[in-house]
Structure 1
């Protein structure tokens, strides 16, 4: 990984270009293997409205969005076990969050050229003292950052292939989203689109399973 000093943006730490092109290519191949073992699914809200991204996971737990709500599960919706988190992905966590507990979930989001993600918080985890680490691969994405409270002013920045950010501390629950993708800004993947990887600690300290019941999207 490159020697990069992080920027602070509303408490979020951003390492621009932390992964060099060779490291990005290795990670992309590793994530293709994850998707072969646990195929991408098309998530929906409780009302049945489809999200524009496709999702899969690796690690002990995967994140699931369906008519039952949002939650973590220890198996892919097909019933198969989630594959392990690739070493190339785990190495990023160790580099930017060395004092955190080991990650238990690696959510892999595929953004096609028209995909987006509305403003939301990552709050389904049992230990909110642990950070979320996000890795961008492929086409540029316009990332919007709000505040912990819903509403209010936001700022936006472009995330590019190889960028890594962490949301922790006071920024752990900031609202954030992806407004749009800029197709054709990267040649890393087989075609236009973006992969976003988020690493998370799911369980509360001393617990072996996720806590709480499915959260129903608003």
Structure 2
């Protein structure tokens, strides 16, 4: 079952899906794939504590010689706000696109913006989420034009309220009218997010000035 299918499972089928994976784990405790499947589902549904407990059990029960379990464990630590633990695990893993992306996330959350950017721009096959991350790295350093160029690589039809808001931020100092267009789009997409982001606007402006 792929990620898209997992995400659209109706609530009345989620419990049955989890139960079926638990049964598979009980029947074959040394099979790492079932642990990975269930942990991925828990991560996607914002249950990192449960996912971490499951993955730590998997480390003890399997002889997995790949980095797949460690990668998911690092994501759990990241989601739980333990960036040091996440970074330590990721540093021990090969630098493929997935680990570079996660390393960049950990670095930006730790305030290491230049380091985050270095990881992000090293990704060989960038995706829409990579462009968003690189834009965030540039914006965190007050580089508005560079951030804008990355955000605009994201297809207009799939830009989130966050992306449109931040595009507005990148235009604000030089073109207020253009900035307002993006702010309005952000507001229409997610009014709650828009007003939450707007409350932080003064701090963003101060960061840009610095």
| TM-score, L = length of structure 2 | 0.24
| TM-score, L = length of structure 1 | 0.23
Say which structure is richer in strand: 1
Say which structure is richer in helix: 2
Q: RCO (CA 8 Å, sep 6+): is it higher in 1 or 2?
A: 1
